[in-house]
Each structure stands twice: as structure tokens, then as C-alpha cells.
Chain A
């Protein structure tokens, strides 16, 4: 079974620029998560989708971050405009139904200069 795919793997931008990340979850997984992981810390949930609906976006900085999952499959996370403190690894994870295990992609490492 193919895992969670993310692209790009690395991105370097200047502050105030925009950036978008893409995630393709495991086929059939209805739940999709975006996490931000700052160096030396654990993942922080940004947004959780159930199919194409948002379940939890309480920690998403909505003034600059947006995410969508239009057809309930792939998802994109956008930052506009980026700040220095957005430098982190952005992880996408998916989960099937009522099972508890989340499956993670390799992440996108973002550096904002």
C-alpha cells in the first residue's frame, strides 16, 4: 500500500512570500491532518479534515495559513505571507475510519529567510 505523499520535500523562501504544500493521503483514509513541527519540538496540529470538511482548525493561524481538501482526497496547505517563525517541517498524516493510528508523510521542510 502506498504511503502518504507530500511535496515538495524542501522549500526555501523569503519572508512575506507565499508557499503551498501538497499532500496525498493513503487511499481510502477519510481523515487528514496537517501538523507543524518546529525543530526540537513535537508536532502541533494545524488542521484536521474529515473527508472535505474541517473538524478542527483551532490552532491554525488563519490570518496567514489556509488549507483545503476540496474533493476529500488531496489537500493543500498555504502560507501567505510567510514569516521567519514559520520555518518548520510541515507534516501531513492520514487515518482510516475509527482506527487510531495516524500514518505520516515524509514532511516538507520550510526555511523562511
Chain B
């Protein structure tokens, strides 16, 4: 079953701009992860934030987590054409054998 809901479903920006994607979820979690999927390829892990963390950075990526609102955001700064991909959040479900529950994804297009 799908748990996360990303918004927006699609986002189109110019190179150099920032891109923000949001994810909402429903149950208690151990952690929340963001993955990237290029067209026709497998998923690549980007960043993991634990339930007791509020913000995490990795290069041009910044992730925030608000467990009271059951939501997370992924910010990509100074976007590049190579960032064009679909971005998925996945929650590590604390009560369900710790399997990952995936959202529907945000499709990001970065125009040169």
C-alpha cells in the first residue's frame, strides 16, 4: 500500500533555481528516506533522516522532517539539468516489519 504522498506531482524549473518537494505520511516511522529515479533506471538512495532528527544536509540536498505534522520536505539548491528525475519518499514503518512504504513521487524537470 502507498503511504506517502508527494507534492507537487510535477515540477518544472530553470537551471540554477531551487526545487522543493514535500512528502506526507500516515503512520509512526523509524526514518524517512528520499530516493531519485532517472527515466528507465533503478532507484538511487539520496538521504535518510531519522525520526528524532529535524534537518539533514547532503551536498545540495536539504531534508526536513516534522513528525508532528507527519511531513518531510526535500530541497535541491542550485538545480542542474542532471537533477531531472522522479523523486520518491519512503518511510520505514515502525510497526510493520520495517518495510519501506513509498509515495507516488514528484517528477522534476530542470530546464537548461
Contact surface of A with B, Cβ cutoff 8 Å:
4, 40-45, 48, 55-56, 59, 91, 93, 100-107, 109
Contacts and interface: CB of A to CB of B under 8 A. Distances in A.
B35 to A, nearest CB: 8
B45 interface: yes
A43 B43 contact: yes
Contacts of A41: 2, 104-105
Interface of B: 1-2, 4, 30-31, 33, 35, 40-45, 48, 88, 90, 92, 97, 99-100, 102-105
A91 B103 CA distance: 16
B100 A102 contact: yes
B48 A42 contact: no
29 contacts: A4-B42, A41-B2, A41-B104, A42-B2, A42-B4, A42-B88, A42-B103, A42-B104, A42-B105, A43-B43, A43-B88, A44-B1, A44-B2, A44-B102, A45-B99, A48-B99, A93-B43, A101-B33, A101-B45, A101-B48, A102-B43, A103-B45, A104-B35, A104-B42, A106-B41, A106-B42, A107-B40, A107-B41, A107-B42
* Secondary structure type dominating chain A contacts: loop
Contacts of A4: 42
Given A42-B88, A48-B97, 16 more contacts: A41-B104, A42-B2, A42-B102, A43-B88, A44-B1, A44-B2, A45-B99, A45-B100, A48-B99, A55-B97, A91-B43, A100-B31, A100-B92, A101-B45, A102-B45, A104-B35
B52 to A, nearest CB: 14
Nearest to A91: B42
Contacts of B30: 100
Nearest to A9: B40
Contacts of A45: 99-100
